[in-house]
Amino acid sequence: MSVETNKETLGFQTEVQQLLDLMIHSLYSNKEIFLRELISNASDAADKLRFEALTDDSLFEDDPDLKIRVEYNKEQKTITVLDNGIGMSREEIIDNLGTIAKSGTRQFFESLTGDQNKDSQLIGQFGVGFYSSFIVAEKLEVTSRRAGLSREEGVRWISEGKNDYSLETVDRPKRGTKIVLHLRDEAEEFLNGHRLRAIINKYSDHISIPIVMDKEGEDEKGEETVNSATALWKRSKKDIKDEEYDEFYKHVGHDFEAPLAHVHNKVEGKLEYTSLLYIPARAPFDLWDREKRHGIKLYVRRVFVMDDAEQLMPAYLRFVKGIVDSDDLPLNISREILQRNRTIDSIRSGCTRKVLDLLADMALKDAEKYAVFWKEFGRVLKEGVIEVTDKQEDLARLFRFASTYDDKEEQAVSLEDYVARMPEGQKAIYYITADSFSTAKNSPHLEIFRDKGIEVLLLSDPIDEWLTTHLNEFDGKPLSSVNKGELDLDGNEGESEDEDKKKEGEKLEKEYQDIVKRIKEILDEKVKDVRITDRLTTSPACLVADEHDMGRHLEQILAASGQSMPGSKPILEINPKHLILRRLKDEQDEDRFRDWSNIIFDQALLSEGGKLDDPAAFVHRLNDMFVELSTEKQAD
Ligand code: ADP
């Protein structure tokens, strides 16, 4: 390491190497986006400088006109992208260009399969950024100086995108970053003014500061601005093409794929602001990360003031990306002030409304697109009914569920569909919760409903337990769990059956009085009560929660997450028409009766996805039964 330049060679973080390989492979047919990514970063750097300069004007030095310059040199086979934005210090270069600091990086690498073709599809989800330059460049040279540092504190970073990069201190009179790409032979097509201008127009027209290039005509001299250089959101909606909206999204959202939908809105009057909000097409890896950054950038009178302004969107809409530009907030607003600012509250509620309307509209007009949205973000949207109380009905209308209507795993049934199909006299919207779709679909609790042709919603997302404790009704109809409380489907059927059923019920009740009592004594530790039921047709028994107890599935979730439970015991309901129960009625052998009771209980627990306290005992009992049965058969 020499003293003057502090030159050193550093290794990339392992993941960087992996990412580079993958990127070069997957973006090979779309090389030109490297320029978009570099310009996007340069524009962010300009935003950051303008923001920091709000409190320290001297950062502008003698160079206040922010812009991005693109050059090319045919002889040297280089393309240069230059900005006079915030720049980077030595530490920042190491952090930003030697490692991947993105949240979700670990999950991303875990999700890679090793098969490059498959993995290529994933790169878009991860976002590409600076490293995409290596698709066209065999060597990159980044020279930067952070605003506010002296000219002797410039840094030069050089890498061939292999295992390492070199770093040295250089004299750098100008603030900002200069990136020189030494092109690979196959990328020489980019050494062409027309081509570069076309790429800038295609992807970066929306960048709000000028992107300049040298004029190229005969005897023309000086620079010209290539893009429109106005903030896209300030332009009139009718003048903005869908592609322009999409490209702007890729810039603000750091995304590779086009968004599903956008809503652009200008509010005038007492409060003035513009919002341009997007629904991404794919959930990011860190959607469930509590530390996750939110996607809204805040501008005040076109000056960028904050990334990830979480106050601008409720948490259940944290996947929304875009910008809000306010005319009313002070430029020096801090995160703390944002938290208790009435203007912000109004903007948030306005933006929330816009997003919910956008989704409702999508659901109505483009079910296919909405299905994509729901698959990616449905579980987040469901948090809404838990988080807020004033939008229950609006949110519930947007929800989609699996249902016994078609028994498909895809969540496509809306509560409106369900209600529209409800036969006259049905009192409630029925649902079942379980830890997987197949447990829900095959639950014994559904037997009677299938028998009677009553639709049941099949809920198996972990959040559904909380959802159903908060969403109690829809369209005036209560939501009712099929595995909780006594089942009363009577009102759902014709009146004439009532009398006969009642009589039959009373008869069975009497007949089974004794055995119910005996089972209850045996299972006393495990159950709160034992009763006969008519909800089962093919299973011998099932477990239900008492009306006011916590749902069985919620208990399992809490127990699994290590939270100690107050231990409300389930109720065992037995099917008096089932052969096992009919036989059990005549069972004289006390030990056998005990074994059967336990097996029935354990089975019921298993069929709802529960965990047995003592699985070995269950297997043991079952084997004993088999042996006995087969010996009996042989004796016959
Ligand atoms: P992303 O832009 O998605 O964060 P990148 O890999 O493109 O990821 O860039 C990594 C980081 O490097 C940026 O977040 C930024 O902090 C820094 N950076 C990149 N280009 C510039 C630039 N031209 N000026 C200042 N900082 C930059």
Give the DSSP per-residue string, 238-303: GG--HHHHHHHHHHHTT-SSPPSEEEEEEE-SSS-EEEEEEE-SS--TTTT-TTPPPEEEEEETTE
Do 184 and 262 reside in the same domain of the chain? no
**Rounded CA separation 227/212 (Å):** 8
Instruction: Name the strand (E) or helix (H) holding 396.
Output: helix 392-398
From 207, 192, 171, 273, select the one nearest 68 (Cα to Cα): 207
SS3 content of the chain, % helix, strand, coil (to 5): 45, 20, 35
CA of 206 to the centre of ligand 1 (A): 19
Q: What is the pLDDT of residue 1?
A: 46
Do 314 and 431 reside in the same domain of the chain? no
Does residue 377 lie in a domain region? no
- Residue 43: pLDDT band (50, 70, 90) is very high
**Rounded CA separation 475/584 (Å):** 45
CA of 604 to the centre of ligand 1 (A): 56
Give yes or no for residue 130 CB within 6 A of ligand 1. yes
DSSP symbol at 401: B
Do 91 and 193 reside in the same domain of the chain? yes
Long-range contacts of 342-346 (CB under 8 A, 24+ apart): 343/271, 344/311, 344/312, 346/271
**pLDDT at 265 > cutoff 90:** yes
Q: Which of 177, 208, 230 is the last residue of a domain?
A: 230
Do 202 and 244 reside in the same domain of the chain? no
Q: Whose CA is nearest to atom 15 of ligand 1?
A: 96
Q: Give the lowest-confidence range in 55-69, 319-333, 398-412, 419-433.
A: 319-333
Q: Residues with Cβ < 8 Å from 633, sequence gap 6 or more?
A: none
**pLDDT at 300 > cutoff 80:** yes
Give yes or no for residue 384 CB within 6 A of ligand 1. no
Q: What percentage of the chain reaches a pLDDT higher than 70? A: 91
Testing ligand 1's pocket by substitution, the residue of 13, 37, 41, 93 carrying the most ligand atoms inside 8 A of its CB is 41
Give yes or no for residue 66 CB within 6 A of ligand 1. no
Read off the pLDDT of each residue in 244-263 and give the average, rounded to a whole number. Answer: 92
Does residue 138 lie in a domain region? yes
User: Tokens 């040279």 sit at which residue?
Assistant: 141
How many folded domains does the chain comprise?
Answer: 4
- Are 224 and 205 in contact by the 8 Å Cβ rule? The answer is no
Q: What is the pLDDT of residue 3?
A: 44
Torsion over CA: 398, 402, 405, 406 (sign): positive
Structure tokens at 265: 């809105």
**Rounded CA separation 460/545 (Å):** 17
Q: Mean pLDDT for the chain?
A: 88
**Rounded CA separation 627/615 (Å):** 19
**pLDDT at 226 > cutoff 80:** yes
Residue 407 sits in a domain whose CATH number is 3.40.50.11260
Do 329 and 442 reside in the same domain of the chain? no
Residue 195 sits in a domain whose CATH number is 3.30.565.10
Instruction: Name the strand (E) or helix (H) holding 174.
Output: none
Q: Which atom of ligand 1 is nearest to 86's Cα?
A: 25
Which string of b and e fits 371-400 if b means at least 16 CB within 10 Å?
bebbebbbbbbbbbbbebeebbebbbbbbb
Residue 516 sits in a domain whose CATH number is 1.20.120.790
Is this structure's pTM higher than 0.85?
no
A 10 A CB-CB count for 473 gives 15
Structure tokens at 165: 């990069």
Do 578 and 623 reside in the same domain of the chain? yes
Do 274 and 326 reside in the same domain of the chain? yes
- Residue 429: pLDDT band (50, 70, 90) is very high
What are the distances in angstroms from CA 596 to CA 511, 547, 588, 591, 603?
Answer: 19, 27, 12, 9, 10
- Are 27 and 123 in contact by the 8 Å Cβ rule? The answer is yes
CA of 37 to the centre of ligand 1 (A): 9
Does residue 422 lie in a domain region? yes
Give yes or no for residue 259 CB within 6 A of ligand 1. no
Does residue 2 lie in a domain region? no
CA 561 to chain centre: 21
Do 506 and 457 reside in the same domain of the chain? no
Q: What is the pLDDT of residue 491?
A: 57
- Are 358 and 335 in contact by the 8 Å Cβ rule? The answer is no
477-481 and 429-433 beta bridge pairing: parallel
Does residue 489 lie in a domain region? no
Do 46 and 75 reside in the same domain of the chain? yes
Give the DSSP per-residue string, 557-583: HHHHTTPPP--PPPEEEE-TTSHHHHH
Do 407 and 522 reside in the same domain of the chain? no
Does residue 376 lie in a domain region? no
Give yes or no for residue 86 CB within 6 A of ligand 1. yes
Does residue 488 lie in a domain region? no
Give yes or no for residue 576 CB within 6 A of ligand 1. no
Does residue 580 lie in a domain region? yes
Residue 298 sits in a domain whose CATH number is 3.30.230.80
Do 102 and 221 reside in the same domain of the chain? yes
CA of 43 to the centre of ligand 1 (A): 10
- Residue 101: pLDDT band (50, 70, 90) is low
- Residue 437: pLDDT band (50, 70, 90) is very high
Q: Which of 204, 230, 256 is the last residue of a domain?
A: 230
CA of 41 to the centre of ligand 1 (A): 5
CA of 307 to the centre of ligand 1 (A): 14
Q: Which of 325, 347, 370 is the last residue of a domain?
A: 370
Give the range of the structural domain holding residue 156, as residue numbers without chain letter: 7-230
Give yes or no for residue 83 CB within 6 A of ligand 1. yes
Do 169 and 41 reside in the same domain of the chain? yes
Give yes or no for residue 376 CB within 6 A of ligand 1. no
Q: For the CA atoms of 307, 310, 314, 315, what is the dihedral angle to 10 degrees?
A: 100
Read off the pLDDT of each residue in 314-324 and give the average, rounded to a whole number. Answer: 93
